[in-house]
Structure 1
Amino acid sequence: MKKVFKIIGIIIVVIIALLVAIPLLFQSQIKDMIKTTLNDNLNAKVEFEDVNLSLISNFPKAHVTIDNLSITNLAPFEGETLASVKSIALNMSIMELFKDFETEPLAISSFSIDDALVNILTDKEGNSNYDIAKESDTPSNEDPSTESSGNFTIDIQDYSISNTNLNYMNASSNIEVRVANLNHSGKGQFSAERSQLDTNTDLFINFAMDSTQYLSNMHLKLDAVIGLDLEQNMYTFKDNKGYINALPLQFDGYVKLLENAQELDITFENPGSSFKDLLALVPEAYAKDLNGVETNGDFKLSGIVKGQFSETTIPTLDITMISNNASFKYPDLPKRVENIQINTTVKNSTGNPDDTYVAIDALNFKIDQDVFKSSATIKNLTKNMAVNAKAEGTLNLGNISKAYPLQLEEELSGILKANIQTAFDMNALETNAYERIKANGNLNITDVIFSSKSMLNPVEIAKADLSFSPQSVSLNTFDAKTGNSDFKASGTLNNFMGFVFSDKTLQGNFNLSSNKFVVNDFMTEDTSVETETQTEPQTTETLKIPDFLDCKISAQANTVVYDNLNLKNVKGTLTIKDQQAILSDMSSDIFQGKLAIDGTVSTKAETPTFDFKLGASNFDIAQSFNDLQLFQALAPIAKALQGQMNSSINLSGALNSDLAPDLNSVTGNAAMELLTSKIEPKEGPVLNKLKNEMSFIDFDKLDLKDLKTKLEFADGKVNVKPFHIKYEDIDIEVSGSHGFDMSLAYNTVFNVPAKYLGSDVNKLLTKMDDKDVKNMTVPVSANIGGTYTSPKISTDLTSAASNLTKQLVEMQKNKLINSGSDQVKDLLGGLMGSNSKEETPDTSSNATGDSNKTEEAITEGVKDVLGGLFGKKKEKSDN
């Protein structure tokens, strides 16, 4: 007996050892087989991280897992990811491992796919990225029931797909479908000709066509038993129940796969008839919890879908949605919606997609005493959708959120009264074919607040009255405010329907008046993500001119606020188009003078730009240069001036995110003329510093009247053309440049009369009889550097006075030499050390006497000159 147990124990150990050892023996072989099979059958780049084999985890079957599989397309979708799968698990009989993989197919009994992403793409030429299978070498007459896929056969009893996302994008039809969080599983016998498949499906779906979102995060569930008839390729819905959001639906019918189409014959309906089923259609994020909602009345959704779905046809459709005299009330909201009538039909009786239409015969409701009725027909859904609609009634917008749990960024308020009938097609809206756009009736709104992402502030409409005609919409009255701005308008809108239904620009001509108009109130916030070099995503906001406006406005405003400027009595024409604001013949009162403006502001590019011509008349200098940053940059010293000026300025450049000029980008030129002006040196550090250097100039008395100068600016610098100013008998020439950063680089030349250069010079001048000499001027240069608030000034005043003194001495010396005798020349020559020859003295007595007298006179004169030069005074003796 002990031997028996011993043998059993050895067998068990051997089996366990084999279960552990076999995966090590076959794992490499399976990995090579999978890689070879995939690459032999697919025109794509296939990669996976690893393949693992286990005989224990799913005993008695072998369990194979493939980790991190990716399939990447080749041309014409080079580099696009067709599929990526975190994990694929395959189960098969252990005996399958002992087959010759090159000659015998491997039978898979079950599989699971986890955390997958599939991207199905079709380009404008009709190429599809999923068409990657290589052509099969299987003869056409081979029995399809025995056909294998490469080295695999399918004998599946169960499968599962979990946490999978699927994206479908068709560029030729402009259709986009996104399936998120797909979880699907099934059990059945696929190998039998007839069997049943028990399935469970749960997913969220989004559907858009032509950039219009028709389904948004709709939740679908389906628990269905599907009959499989593989011989006929038919799949029949048997015991099933599905949900659209929370609306229950039952399906009956079948889907049959044909060679180039699918044949459908399906009927469906909601099993109940409560109006709460309609609310269940609304996504939970909008409808909130339906528990506790009181409902009355019925609701029935039913449909028949029958026919072939192919490249040219769709099944015929007969879908109805009906509700009569229904009502509902949410427990936490004060208002009830009642007298609800819905009669909607979706039909197609030919199978031609173009013949599909929606008929909304009635969509009526009542909240409090307000009754609203509407109806519409929508045809030609797949191409040029045509709409014929009518709306009539009164709606208190504030009651909507009191009756239905909407979450709005801004609370709705105001009264809307409508009696409108319209007919149009989408192509007419897009091409402005006004002859095909019909509208009649009136729309009146009062105390309405309107906001959107394209606007910086909500617009509070006190009153608006619109009249519709086939040609246009007349804005009879419009009284509104936004932010700190108020405005009234009237005019004509040319494509109001296109703006409302097709995101077209709002075109028109308006007359606008305003008491206070703040420019920034009408800008939009543009949020953009910084570059990928940022360690963390960051956003920046810039002001943009709305791109939905295309209008011409004749404007008049008592006050317009732009940046820190208050412009009064503004008149002119403003054209807004293509994110540009064009100002024409604009005039206003500002800085106690007049301002004329013509120019353009554009926010179309990433960096906003401007190009303006400004004309200033009788501007108050101090106020304008104090309040206007641009003027401060152009002429900072003007802050110390008081008076009036005229100016013409041409400038262009870039704008910052708040639409203020970027001074480093500004280029242009300016001409300025001072009409009357005086100086307040205390306001000018440069003038204070100059006053210390030039004490003989009183800057309060500078004559600036009729001063004209020209400026040119670029690259952050202002170049000042030379100009002259006058102080009494001193002419001053100024030239140079300064930066917008207030750095200074000026050269000022003072043509100073000699009399201002000190007492020594004046004494010399009194000895001079020449009038021109006494009135001579000396150029004194002052170089101004540093910054406006901390200037650095250097002058050549000292050297100029010294040079003048030497010049005067030389002139006096030459005068005496030229007017005196030989003895004077000898004497001066001796004094100056310049005797170069000996003269023979005159021996006559008369000559001697005259010579002595002349020598004495010259000596005294020279002494006086030299005494004046060197400051030595000596009293003369009375002989």
Structure 2
Amino acid sequence: MKKFILISLIFINIVLLAAILLPIIYADEIKAKITEEINKNINAKVYFKDFSLGIFRDFPNLTASLDDFGVVNLAPFEGDTLLAAKSFGMGIDFWSLFGEQFRINGILLNQPKIKIKVLKNGDANYNIAKETTETEADTAQSSFSAKIDHWQIKDGFFVYDDAVYQTFMEMKGLNHEGKGDFETDLFDLGLKLKIESFTASYEKTNYMNKKQIEVKMTLGADMKNMKFTFKDNESRINDFVFAFYGWFQMLENGYDMDISLNAKQTDFRTLLSLIPSIYTENFKSIKTQGKAVFEGYVKGIYNDKRFPIYNLRLQAFDAMFQYPSLPMPVTNINVDMEIDNKEGVLEKNVVDIRKFSMDLGANPISGKLRIKGLTKYNLSADVKATVNLAEMTQVFPIQGTTLKGLFDLRLVANGDYDEKLKSIPKIDAQMSLKDGYVKSESYPVPIENMNIQALAKNETGKMQDTYVNLQKSAILLEGKPFEAKGTFKNFDDLEYDLTANGEIDLEKITKVFPLENMTVKGNIKADLATKGKLSDAQAQRYDKLPTSGKMEIKNLVYTSPSVAQPVKIDEGVMTFTPQKIILEKYKGYMGKSDVSMTGELSNYIAFILKKDGILKGNLNLTSQKLDANEWISDESKPDTAQSPPLEVIEVPKNIDFTFNANVGEILYSSYKMTDNKGLVTVKDGILKLDNFNFSMLGGKFMTRGTYDPRNLAHPLFDFGFAIKDLGIPNAFANFTTVKTFAPIANGASGFFSTDLNLKGELKNDLMPNLATLTGSGLIQIAELGLKQSGLLEKIGQFTKLNNLAGQVKDLLLKAQFVNGKMFVDPFDVKLNDYKANIAGSIGFDGAIDYFLKLDVPKNQMAAELSQKLDAITGGTQSQNQTVQVNLRISGTYNNPQFKLEKGGTAEAIKQEIAQKIAQEKEVAKEVARETVRDVAKDAFNQLLTGGNRNDSTALGDSTKKSGTVLQNIGETSKDKVKDAANKLLNRFGIGKKKEEVKADSVKN
């Protein structure tokens, strides 16, 4: 026994000693391999402050922890923080320390902040994994193998913002853990989730607002068939508890499912907890009665062509609730609601509220509603409500507010809505508010004399027989009345008669009716009257559109989370006529940028009344200083002191504006542009500049052309640039076009002027895709001073002619850009004392193909070069003669290859360049033909399958293949095209190229 105890103590001591020593022994090696794996697999900037290794937290596994861990995106989300965590821990199998690979079997994220963003063109900031071939992905070549069987998130914050599907989610206080043996085909997957505050919206409509979520679930996982079966599970939203039954399967194209859900409790209180305004800290004290039923199912395949059937049913019976401190309850709550789709066809969706009724104290509300269909639908509705507003404060805890007035609503509707057939449900509706009164303790003066009387009628079901009459709408605030009234009839060709008169103090209104996360201040004074018919407005029959009046705005201030900077209008005066709105005066600020405007807006009546109406404008815009960088939202600003990242900006399609701009100073990215003058046109979703002049970087610029982002996935540009007297050092430091196509300018001095036309496709960061660049122009260079470095140095090494650099007089170059290559016609230049003639091309990937003719006295040549020339030319020149050295320079700028040739005339070289340009253009034509075929094919498939995404995204998807081909047309063969694509440079154009943050920049 003593021997056993002794052996046990020795074993325990050995284990404890190993637990202490092994983390120390392996710490540096594991740290190095973690860094290596990050660099190998992640296309982003990853940082961490400290590294630690321990064994006691997850015994017997080792736990490697990266403290203050984060992942920062590269372009097009450059500077955005994708993930930041207090610590990122990885569980490492103890016994794998003695093998060829370290095995990761667990992950822990402590206090992570995760922000996922998807742009309108489909680009997502989480796509940071490096592309690998099958060979590269072979785990045998990796320092780690991942066999994760447990993971955990503690106290996380998560945001998902998808502009494609207009979906937003926010989770605060996120705690999650899961475990499962993924090495086997069949196992139980255990999941736990708790969220303190969950908000979700779709198309700017909130469907869940700050809800508490909790999930405990076991899934039976069949990894071979990717099928997951619900076992023991319970989910909770606030106090509402429910469970899932059935299974869910991932298919090669879509999903298959048979899932049902049921509420696990029938108490009405659980259903009431889903209402945000009621589910507060005092919810437990609310008295409730009644029963509730909540159940549903979804069955079938979901993919691009099929949709599952589904049903959701909600019922409440004889329910009530009452706040303990208030005298009147809400009673007789009865709800019978069903959402049903028995065929898996969205257009046959049915929403049926068979019954909805309650008594707010002594104020009854009842109704029923049935809608069958989505775009074309059948509607049946019957709603009644009579409410004494003074009694609402006795039913609901509306603290600090006094209400008065009688509200009444009667609505009956029945029939079909079909826009093409111009049919509308028959309707008979009346609404009124009499002697309304609202007083808030935050403001001493009430809004009073609130009177609204309105009705809507249609007795035939035809749009032309619809009649809406706003008989009265009036309020009184501090003795200042505001009243509006009007009629609308014949919705087939809308006839209107409207008047508005009075003054509104927006700040006082918002003190009575507070706005969350928004500030609105200012005075609006209006005296307007307009009458007419939509067809007359569209046909510009202004004599039939009597319109008159004036609107004045003073000291208006608007702030909101959706607007990057406050908008202020110090003074605005508008006069209304049938033809136009005359903007007599507009002075204000957008952030710190001052803006003044005068001008006219026309076609405004048709714009307001018609869904696809176009607002036209001719405006004069002046400003001392416009700071465009202010309008990049905080979330998109980089975490470091870099220039703000850019992304594709959509141009409105429903305006036709011309701005005559005169701006003293514009700040854009890291640039400062002064004396900005010219015409800016916005029309059909395209922005156009005409003779827009400005000064920047010591030079003068004149631009003309278009920015066309109608296809957000592949925005286009077509611009002309006239630049005068720009310093070459400034150009090289700031313009990536110069760095890419004129690398010899690095370290050069002098000035250049150019008149250049360029067009192509823009990348997501608004920098041109160099592979698609096409154009031509003249480049004039003055007082050029070349530095002995780069290509010149290597030419000197090959020819043994030292110091080819020096001062060069004026040059005039003729350049053409085709498919990302710049071709230069032959031009004469002096390289030191040697006459030279240069022609050829350089590509966006650095590939060069130059002809260099160099006149050199034979007696100054190295013997080796002289012998090579003699072999080519026959050796007829004497030592005192000047001979021509003809060099063909290929390869890349940084790694050139040289070959001596017999040479040719300048005209022959020019013809050869012309032939190559023609070949590149033919490649472009073939790509264009392929693009048209692909887009037409994909568009036809979209038509057949009935795609439901927005137009720009659908078009972006359909042109993905063509966009990829366009990006790679720098070479004619398919293999070379693929190779060239992998060498794309980071940025180009009027945008300062930032240092590329490579994956090996992991900090610690």
TM-score range, shorter chain: 0.5 to 0.7
Residue 222 of structure 1 aligns to which amino acid in structure 2?
Answer: F
Q: Would you say how many aligned residue pairs link Structure 1 and Structure 2?
A: 554
Q: Secondary structure at the match of 1:623?
A: helix
CA distance in 2, matches of 1:356, 1:558: 53
| 1:322 maps to 2:433 | yes
What is aligned with 2:642?
none
Q: 1:184 to 1:335 in 2, by over 3 A?
A: same
1:448–1:461 CA contact under 8 A, matched in 2: yes
What is aligned with 2:524?
416
What is aligned with 1:461?
569
1:525–1:542 CA contact under 8 A, matched in 2: no
What is aligned with 1:588?
694
User: Given the alignment, which residue of 529, 553, 574 partners 1:445?
Assistant: 553
What is aligned with 2:356?
222
What is aligned with 1:249?
364
User: Given the alignment, which residue of 540, 545, 563 partners 2:651?
Assistant: 545
Residue 478 of structure 1 aligns to which amino acid in structure 2?
Answer: Y
Quote the offset at 1:759 in angstroms: 9.7
What is aligned with 1:506?
615
2:498–2:531 CA contact under 8 A, matched in 1: yes
1:690–1:793 CA contact under 8 A, matched in 2: no
Quote the offset at 1:419 in angstroms: 2.1
Residue 488 of structure 1 aligns to which amino acid in structure 2?
Answer: S
Quote the offset at 1:602 in angstroms: 0.8
CA distance in 1, matches of 2:649, 2:748: 35
1:466–1:476 CA contact under 8 A, matched in 2: yes
Quote the offset at 1:86 in angstroms: 5.7
Residue 707 of structure 1 aligns to which amino acid in structure 2?
Answer: L
What is aligned with 2:817?
713
| 1:627 maps to 2:737 | no
CA distance in 2, matches of 1:322, 1:752: 98
1:526–1:541 CA contact under 8 A, matched in 2: no
What is aligned with 1:201?
335
Quote the offset at 1:488 in angstroms: 1.7
CA distance in 1, matches of 2:704, 2:504: 45
Identical residues among aligned pairs (%): 21
What is aligned with 2:676?
570
Deviations 1:44-103 (A, max 9, x none): xxxxxxxxxxxxxxxxxxxxxxx99xxxxxxxxxxxxxxx99699xxxxxxxxxxxxxxx
Deviations 1:566-601 (A, max 9, x none): 433222212110111112222333443432322111
Q: 1:780 to 1:431 in 2, by over 3 A?
A: same
CA distance in 2, matches of 1:722, 1:322: 83
CA distance in 1, matches of 2:577, 2:820: 55
CA distance in 1, matches of 2:297, 2:848: 65
What is aligned with 1:365?
475
What is aligned with 1:406?
515
CA distance in 1, matches of 2:856, 2:899: 13
Matches within 5 A, 1:131-146: none
1:751–1:780 CA contact under 8 A, matched in 2: yes
What is aligned with 1:732?
836
Residue 584 of structure 2 aligns to which amino acid in structure 1?
Answer: N
Question: Which structure is richer in relative contact order (CA contacts within 8 A, separation 6 or more)?
Answer: 2
What is aligned with 2:212?
none
Quote the offset at 1:303 in angstroms: 4.7
What is aligned with 1:292?
399
CA distance in 2, matches of 1:542, 1:394: 41
Quote the offset at 1:359 in angstroms: 3.5
CA distance in 2, matches of 1:461, 1:279: 41
Residue 578 of structure 1 aligns to which amino acid in structure 2?
Answer: D
What is aligned with 1:183?
315
Q: 1:541 to 1:651 in 2, by over 3 A?
A: closer
TM-score between the two structures when normalised by the length of structure 1: 0.53
User: Given the alignment, which residue of 435, 440, 451 partners 1:342?
Assistant: 451
Residue 419 of structure 1 aligns to which amino acid in structure 2?
Answer: D
1:523–1:544 CA contact under 8 A, matched in 2: no
Deviations 1:804-828 (A, max 9, x none): xxxxxxxxxxxxxxxxxxxxxxxxx
CA distance in 2, matches of 1:451, 1:601: 29
CA distance in 2, matches of 1:672, 1:464: 47
Quote the offset at 1:555 in angstroms: 1.7
Deviations 1:398-448 (A, max 9, x none): 33332114335x422232222222334455566766555443221122333
What is aligned with 1:658?
765
Q: Secondary structure at the match of 1:670?
A: strand
| 1:479 maps to 2:611 | no
Matches within 5 A, 1:36-55: none
Residue 812 of structure 2 aligns to which amino acid in structure 1?
Answer: K
CA distance in 2, matches of 1:267, 1:315: 14
CA distance in 2, matches of 1:646, 1:655: 24
CA distance in 2, matches of 1:455, 1:502: 26
Deviations 1:182-213 (A, max 9, x none): 53789xxxxxxxxxxx99435599xxxxxxxx
Q: 1:398 to 1:779 in 2, by over 3 A?
A: same
Q: Secondary structure at the match of 1:587?
A: strand
Q: 1:472 to 1:559 in 2, by over 3 A?
A: same
| 1:374 maps to 2:495 | no
Quote the offset at 1:493 in angstroms: 0.4
Quote the offset at 1:708 in angstroms: 2.2
Deviations 1:591-646 (A, max 9, x none): 43432322111111232111112222333222223222223323221233322223
CA distance in 2, matches of 1:279, 1:647: 77
Gaps of at least 5 residues in structure 2 are: 1-244, 247-257, 263-290, 299-309, 319-331, 340-350, 369-377, 418-422, 637-645, 867-875, 902-1004
CA distance in 1, matches of 2:829, 2:767: 34
Quote the offset at 1:753 in angstroms: 0.3
CA distance in 1, matches of 2:673, 2:487: 51
Residue 616 of structure 1 aligns to which amino acid in structure 2?
Answer: I
CA distance in 2, matches of 1:444, 1:179: 53
| 1:489 maps to 2:604 | no
What is aligned with 1:388?
497
Deviations 1:242-294 (A, max 9, x none): 67xx99436799xxxxxxxx9x9999562x533466999xxxxxxxx653353
Larger-Rg structure:
1
Matches within 5 A, 1:1-80: none
Q: 1:752 to 1:558 in 2, by over 3 A?
A: same
Matches within 5 A, 1:117-136: none
1:455–1:525 CA contact under 8 A, matched in 2: no
What is aligned with 1:556?
662
CA distance in 2, matches of 1:182, 1:461: 49
Residue 792 of structure 2 aligns to which amino acid in structure 1?
Answer: L
Quote the offset at 1:551 in angstroms: 0.9
CA distance in 2, matches of 1:279, 1:412: 30
Q: 1:642 to 1:304 in 2, by over 3 A?
A: closer
